[in-house]
Amino acid sequence: MLMLQLAVLLGVAVVFGRLAQRCGQPAVVGEILGGLVVGVTVLGAVAPGGYDWLFAAGRDVTATRDAVVTLGMLFFLFVAGSEVDLREIRHLGPRALSIGLVGTLVPLLAGIGLVMALPAGVWGVGPEESRWPLAVFVGLCLANSANPVLARILMDLGLLKSDVGRVAMAATVVDDLVTWVTFAVLLGSAAPSSNDAGPGVAGAAGLVLLLILAVLAGGRLLARPALRYLGQRSTWPTGFIGCVAVLVLVAAAASDAVGVHAFLGAFLAGIALAGHDPRHQEAHDAMARFTLAFFAPVYFVSMALGTDFVAGFDPLLVVVLTLVACGAKVAGVLAGTAVLRLPVDRTAWTVAWGLNARGATGIVLAGVGRASGIIGDEVFVALVVMALLTTVMAPSLMKLSMRRGPVPSPVGPDDARVGRRGQESGDSR
């Protein structure tokens, strides 16, 4: 039954993802819609017996499927981390830091203020409960930007190596680091699903910092030379890919062992092992293609499998979250531009609308928050819909901002490589 479940999930992901792409939308939009169709939202309502027969086959099958889905999330975050180029921050300096930091902090604070301002019942918590973990988490979801989907949008628009593209991608590096590290601290200190009291905010922050230093330093100083050595003496590229997979799982296990969610270790491993050696890049690309062709689609379909998006859909909450997310993110990016006394022109607006796309990483963030017990189904549904809406609107709004704006730079060799990778792997999620 497990094999049948995975076959159905992957088949639905392929069909609906392709339909979404034919409509000019990211594949993840179709994959989520496919999950609605075969999940409790549609199939469970129309033919509950069929849904139970297929997806409620027993605890062992469900636990194994969940393990495959979790593995998919880890390797997807490894791929997302491999898109983070820390050198871009050094190259663009204050501009990237200002846009990335201010563009992250403004929606973070807006999300916190929104949760604290609205009645507790809106968020599914009692008035006597502390709302701070929930508030910080919602703020992080509003602050998040999707690095992979932004890279694909910029490539499609011919802007990847332009001033707009370089600034936007560098800013997402700052955004990703702030968002995921803060989220790891939140989970380590205050996640309701934790059985222990937790190390507290200071302790969790210290563990996260130690983990970051260990994974990044170990990856740069030990893992990279080891991979070069193994790459010369093992089957290419399968042996190399196997070694990389081992390192990703070790980093995830180390992250989990110190009380931080395993996703951070996988994400940091992607940053540490990302290289510019053409031979190693070939292996990284092969691994990314398989991840984005199998693990990621199964993960995103499963995200909508067990949640009733009709019963859990709160239209007012969706509208409020989407409006606050868009307004705060755009305002933060423009403010980050103005801080350096740079002109708030069409380039700045284009970067702002690009960073406003939450994409698949926003959906992953929401899913981990729900699995950790920070949010319930209604907030989860609202955050997923917000992530999809901001992703769908990003390309059109960026095109609108670029009218009569700066001319895109010519596509270079790096753009061609990214383009081939995106087309082959479906990296438009």
Identify the domain boundary among 19, 42, 63: 63
Please say if the pLDDT value at position 416 is more than 60.
no
Exposed / middle / buried, residue 293 (Cβ in 10 Å: 0-12, 13-18, 19+): middle
pTM of the predicted protein model: 0.80
DSSP 258: T
pLDDT computed for residue 429 by the predictor? 62
Residues, the chain: 429
Please say if the pLDDT value at position 100 is more than 50.
yes
Indicate if 83 and 17 belong to the same structural domain: no
Indicate if 125 and 102 belong to the same structural domain: yes
Indicate if 88 and 125 belong to the same structural domain: yes
pLDDT computed for residue 243 by the predictor? 82
Indicate if 215 and 104 belong to the same structural domain: yes
Domain that holds residue 353: 68-425
| pLDDT mean over 335-351 | 87
Q: Which range, of 5-9, 262-266, 366-370, 384-388, averages the lowest pLDDT?
A: 262-266
Q: When comparing pLDDT for 130 and 366, which is higher?
A: 366
Identify the domain boundary among 46, 63, 80: 63
Helix, strand, coil percentages (3-state) for the chain, rounded to 5, are: 75, 0, 25
Indicate if 15 and 133 belong to the same structural domain: no
Indicate if 44 and 171 belong to the same structural domain: no
CA–CA distance, 149 with 181 (Å, rounded to integer): 20
Q: Strand, helix or coil at 100?
A: helix
Residue showing tokens 């969706």: 318
Indicate if 28 and 175 belong to the same structural domain: no
Work out how many domains the chain is built from and give that number.
Answer: 2
- Integer distance in angstroms from the first to the last C-alpha of the chain? 28
Indicate if 344 and 199 belong to the same structural domain: yes
Indicate if 177 and 226 belong to the same structural domain: yes
Using omega within 30 degrees of 0 as the cis cutoff, is the peptide bond preceding 237 cis?
yes
CA–CA distance, 103 with 44 (Å, rounded to integer): 40
Cα torsion for 71, 72, 78, 81, to the nearest 10°? -130
Indicate if 76 and 13 belong to the same structural domain: no
CB 362 within 8 A of CB 146: yes
Identify the domain boundary among 63, 85, 107: 63
pLDDT computed for residue 190 by the predictor? 63
Indicate if 155 and 29 belong to the same structural domain: no
CB 389 within 8 A of CB 320: no
CA–CA distance, 357 with 48 (Å, rounded to integer): 35
CA–CA distance, 387 with 390 (Å, rounded to integer): 5
Tens digit of each residue's pLDDT (9 = 90 or more) over 209-253: 888 888 888 887 887 777 777 767 767 677 778 888 888 999 999
CA–CA distance, 382 with 367 (Å, rounded to integer): 12
Indicate if 180 and 148 belong to the same structural domain: yes
pLDDT band at 386; cut points 50, 70, 90 = very high
pLDDT computed for residue 329 by the predictor? 96
Q: Which of 147, 149, 140, 155 is nearest to 190 (CA)?
A: 140
- Residue 104's alpha-carbon distances to 109, 115, 150, 400, in angstroms, are 9, 17, 16, 23
pLDDT band at 412; cut points 50, 70, 90 = very low
